[in-house]
Amino acid sequence: MRIAVFGAGSLGSALGGLLSSSNEVVLIGRRPHVDAMNRRGLTLLGTRRKTIRLTAGTSTAGLDAPDLLIITTKAYDTPQAISACEHWVSGKTKVLTLQNGLGNLELLRAWKGDMAFGGTTTMGAALQSPGKVRISGIGKTVIGCDVDPKGAQAIAGAFKISGVPTTLSGNIEGAIWTKATVNACINPLTAILRVKNGDLLRSPVVNRLMAGVCRECELVARAHHVSIPRGSMILRARAVARGTADNTSSMLLDIERRRRTEIDYLNGAICRMAVAKGLSAPLNCALAGIVKALEHRSRGQKG
């Protein structure tokens, strides 16, 4: 399968590097990383170090349309990703989102209809330096088969043959919400408290706060007719925090590096969607507001 990964940072590069073992892959990312890959190849660090030679570019110019386009940009860059790719891909190109947050799949389906697939992944990856990505865990990838089961099976097959464990789900919206709920419990609190994921579990007060955030997310999901596990989300959130205890969340890294966060697509989205149904989600709204204030301060913005 001819695969393009748009937004090839840490996750996109790790995934693309693994998929290149059995597929034709091109990575589209930012210049320092792309230049390093074109000079020396993509080095994947983890259980086994290997350097992979593949095509990398900073735009789609001159590239053939792929069979599968995987979007791994930040959620706030999804509209720009669509704009950059809409005149490049063919009518037969499938598009898969493996992004964090809520709202990405809806944008892709407004563009590509039934050719747009939702997905989630727990693959852990970090950009060590331009051209070098460390994979902390292959994790599990889930692809939605709600609109085109055969198309989803073809994508899953390309992942599996490359050693990426992948399953199909007829409730991919629920899977996306489940991951977003876990992220909404962990990421903003680590960014506000400036701690690693596992440190959240040390405080009874923070644990109660996490449980409250989960309950709000569950309530809003049900109001929007999204099926997620009732009552067990806090157990999942705690399990993820425990399993990634030594990790620094992407949101905390964004604050420390003076970058925009994805808070608008996690707690901020839950807050807006609660209001749309006449509900209240005060904890999510408060966390979104605090992180936005930290973000503005760290980036030297007003408001």
Query: Annotated catalytic sites, by residue?
Result: 179
Q: How far apart are CA 74 and CA 52, in angstroms?
A: 24
Q: How far apart are CA 181 and CA 222, in angstroms?
A: 13
CA distances in angstroms from 47 to 129, 135, 173, 245, listed in the order given: 18, 8, 32, 19
Angle at 80 between CA 135 and CA 69, to 5 degrees: 50
Beta carbons of 145 and 162 less than 8 angstroms apart: no
Q: How many other C-beta atoms can be found within 10 angstroms of the C-beta atom of residue 84?
A: 16
Residues in the chain: 303
Q: Which of 253, 263, 179, 185 is nearest to 9 (CA)?
A: 253
Cβ-proximal residues to 191 (8 Å cutoff; 6+ apart), any chain? 249, 251, 252, 254, 255, 261, 291, 294
Compute the radius of gyration of the chain from its Cα atoms.
19
Task: Indicate the SS3 state at residue 49.
Answer: coil
Provide the CA 273 distance to its chain's centre, in angstroms. Answer: 20
Q: How far apart are CA 214 and CA 222, in angstroms?
A: 12
- Edge-to-edge order in the sheet of strand 132-137: 50-52, 42-45, 132-137, 124-129
DSSP state of 18: H
